[in-house]
Structure 1
Amino acid sequence: MYKLVAIDIDGTLLNSRQEITKEVKDAIQAAIKKGVRIVLCTGRPIFGVNPFIEQLELNNENDFVITFNGAFVQNTQTKEVVVQNDLTYGDLNDLYELSKTLDSPMHYFDLNNMYTPNKMINLYTIYEAHSNRLPIYYRPMAETPEDIVIPKVMFVEEETRLDRIIENIPDTFKEKYMMIKSTPFYLEILHPMVSKANAIKQLAEKLSIKKEEIISIGDGGNDLSMIEYAGCGVAMGNATPAVKAAADFQTLSKDENGVAYAIEKLVLN
């Protein structure tokens, strides 16, 4: 019997209109009534997940959420922090210098806000802020406090240019950090210990849940680790070829209530 279902948000939980459908919510509530833990597992910042936590009523004493691609895991009611792996000011400075060398726009987060050292704010930075209902602050490196807590840095650009930027990142940086291309226009840069799989593993150990009792549902490159880790990895119908190849089960697409279909087939039945 499965005891925990980890669900990605963008491209998985949400349809093309950025909605959680009634069918998906009903399936999630039915799984909860059956005693299964539902954990949202996303690259979004914690602030950008709160509306979905409230909509799905995942804010009880035993509910947890995985954010920043696994860099920050928190109890949604008590605010107890289970996992926190951050980048340092030194990391931020090194990545900023790299972004200048590569001519790549960048932004970064603390736990509550979003910042960019670029005076000309990139379109994809604006989109990221809008998606997560976060303010954007232009903040030059000279004004950034050295004790800042940074879950994630992102290089952002249109797909063709971002691919060239990634190709030109020195191996020393690729070895030092976890780098994930989560969408065609986002490269996410995190602490080397960060992944969705590691976050799920640590949370499951806390909850005394075995790997074989976990389902992970996702669609993109940043979901691959948790698809491979889970007892049952589920690929959305709209997932990348790599995710589909790694999955144990393929569900319907995000616009066909794929999360609901997976829960019905694997948990409720």
Structure 2
Amino acid sequence: MPKFDLIAFDLDGTVYVDHAKYIRPRVIRAFETAHEAGVMLSVASGRPVGMLGASLVDAPWLDWNITVNGACVSSARDGRVLSARMMPVSQVRAVVEAVRSLGGTAGRGGWSLFAPNISGFDRELNREKFASRGTGDGDRTNFSFVENALAGGQDVAEIPSIDEALDELDTDVYKVGCMLDTVEQTQAAIDLLSASDAVGGLELACVGPTELEITRAGVSKGSALSILCERLGIDEGRVVAFGDSGNDVTFGESACTFVAMGNATPEIKAIADDICPPDTEDGVAVWLEQNLL
């Protein structure tokens, strides 16, 4: 009998290696073995469903999607939404204005927006900041992020600006992202957003030295995992979750077994129940082969 009823896994840095948009064969075999033994599997990603990648969306062993940092929980089989926890547009506008109040270049560009009908990256983020950062594979030095994503079959768009996108939006927002220019500017934004009453309650995830992901207060991968377990009648103690960085930290607040990747940040390793080999060594598969049954 398997020791777990549910496996939750992050993507980039966990099962996606070096920005690849596919899962390596050994990890797939481990997931297939788990599924055949009756274990359910759920992705747990900051991405929306449209950016998960076709190879994952079509995987017969995937049961559930925890997406946009836990703002949406849905069935991988039929798209049925179990939970949607969103920010009103007014709250997103308050966040944008708060970041801009820091002065200089803060918040003038570098925004991303995720809602039921849009996954958008503003022009500066898409064509300037992503290109200057690069990915190690050279793609973004030649093509914009959106162009690459579209080439990979992902459902994304370039938006002129966060303001214009919000003006046209007719729905609430799952998540907003902001890439700032310096570590100091990013920390100033975190401090301001954490303390400001004007923006309402927020959940902040720092997913890179200058990258913030922002959701409604209490909305995280860890809390979404708890919601999924409650709906499925699963004891969280019989769940294992794998992650490597900032938006995975709330798995440590769950009763699940939290396994950090060998390539995880020090913060994640410090709160994890166990550490597996890095993503480049198929760490998720190695751990499951040793601990699932």
TM-score category (smaller protein)? 0.7 to 0.9
Alignment of 1:26-41 (within 5 A): 26-41=29-44
CA distance in 1, matches of 2:262, 2:223: 25
Paired position in structure 2 for 1:71? 71
Paired position in structure 1 for 2:278? 253
CA distance in 2, matches of 1:34, 1:151: 34
How far has the Cα of 1:67 moved from its partner? 0.2
| 1:151 aligned onto 2:179 | no
How far has the Cα of 1:195 moved from its partner? 0.8
CA distance in 1, matches of 2:79, 2:254: 26
Q: What is the letter of the counterpart of residue 41 of structure 2?
A: I
| 1:93 aligned onto 2:106 | no
* TM-aligned CA distance change 1:27 to 1:146, over 3 Å: closer
How far has the Cα of 1:92 moved from its partner? 1.9
SS in 2 for 1:233: strand
* TM-aligned CA distance change 1:21 to 1:140, over 3 Å: closer
CA distance in 1, matches of 2:189, 2:27: 36
Q: What is the letter of the counterpart of residue 159 of structure 2?
A: Y
Paired position in structure 1 for 2:157? 135
Structure 1 residues not aligned, in runs of 5+:
none
* Root mean square deviation of aligned Cα: 2.5
Alignment of 1:35-184 (within 5 A): 35-54=38-57, 56-58=59-61, 63-102=63-102, 103-104=106-107, 105=109, 106-115=111-120, 122-124=128-130, 127=145, 130-131=148-149, 133-139=155-161, 141=163, 144-145=167-168, 147-160=170-183, 162-166=185-189, 169-170=192-193, 171-172=195-196, 176-184=201-209
TM-score (structure 2 length as normaliser)? 0.81
* TM-aligned CA distance change 1:193 to 1:160, over 3 Å: closer
Structure 2 residues not aligned, in runs of 5+:
132-143
| 1:220 aligned onto 2:245 | yes
- Tell me if structure 1 keeps the 8 A contact 2:12–2:19: no
Q: What is the letter of the counterpart of residue 44 of structure 2?
A: C
SS in 2 for 1:57: coil
TM-score (structure 1 length as normaliser)? 0.88
Aligned residues between the structures: 265
| 1:209 aligned onto 2:202 | no
SS in 2 for 1:190: strand
CA distance in 2, matches of 1:123, 1:133: 20
CA distance in 2, matches of 1:54, 1:65: 9
